[in-house]
Amino acid sequence: MNGAEPSTDGWFEGVDREDTDATAEAVRNGTADAPADWPARAVESGFASDEDDYYETLHEATMAATRAAVQEAESADDKQLIHAVRAMDDCDRTANELAERVAEWAGSVREDAGTGVEYARELAEKTDSDGEDRLVSLAQRIRDLDDEAAALRTHVQQTAPEVAPNLAALAGPVLAARLIALAGGLKELARKPSGTIQVLGAEEALFAHLRGHAPSPKHGIIFTHEAVQGTHPENRGSAARALSGKLAIAARVDYYSGERKPELDEELADRIEMIQARDTQ
């Protein structure tokens, strides 16, 4: 024991009730060592005029504290990374969907019509549109979306290693960001077992399996990782398990310490090399 007197102050002690930030902070961080008749104490101290006034002020303070906590959580680095990678994927998806529309439209009026975002970019530069202004305008929107997706990808590639250095090193920045987004945050990802990480992004296939309509999925979005794609289909399950195991460790290290662990890279490379060696046997 350090001989300190137990805390008996209410959250409202020494707080200006008109200062919303101060009352919210008091509610979030205030503590007491024992329960007390806080409404009566608040009235006695002059903080509230009566019990109803106390509870009204407490309600306002707790609402302000909740808003502050939500804003703080949303401004966290991993949450900003989630917004960026989702926006990147939205831009990519929308650009490709609109490019299909442009290809279909252009095919009805141009003999040299092509397909895909690249064709839309070419069409966006046309100055002699000959009455095809709306088609060219749509192609320009696709070009802008494609440019925005590229800028967001660069941002994700720069940000992911700062948020999750080990995860980004093992998975690559974009895949790391997508895993964090699918989990709902780095904290949530760090708490997931490797088996769950292995099938993140394959929820539809997993639900179909649970209903007895499909086999169990071997992997989710980690399929895009070279360790899985570069392995013979017969051995991809083993590669996916090895990769997800190391990703689970990396996420935990990133969340709880943030210390870079290069040995994780080496261990994964050795394990994948052993698995891929089976491909030639």
Domain CATH for 269:
1.10.246.90
Number of structural domains the chain divides into = 3
Domain boundary (162, 189, 204) is at 162
- Domain identity same for 178 and 277: yes
Indicate if the pLDDT at residue 156 is higher than 80.
Answer: yes
Is 220 domain-assigned?
yes
- Closest of 159, 162, 276, 152 to residue 225, by C-alpha: 276
- Domain identity same for 278 and 173: yes
Indicate if the pLDDT at residue 3 is higher than 60.
Answer: no
Is 11 domain-assigned?
no
pLDDT band, residue 1 (cuts 50/70/90): very low
Asked if 134 contacts 98 with a C-beta cutoff of 8 angstroms, the reply is: no
pLDDT band, residue 164 (cuts 50/70/90): very high
CA distance 125 to 164: 40
Asked if 27 contacts 60 with a C-beta cutoff of 8 angstroms, the reply is: no
Tell me the chain's radius of gyration from C-alpha atoms.
28
Is 5 domain-assigned?
no
For the record, the structure tokens of 104 come out as: 């279909």
Is 8 domain-assigned?
no
Q: Which domain holds residue 93?
A: 77-162
pLDDT band, residue 73 (cuts 50/70/90): low
- The pLDDT value given to residue 21: 80
- Domain identity same for 82 and 39: no
- Domain identity same for 242 and 156: no
Indicate if the pLDDT at residue 227 is higher than 60.
Answer: yes
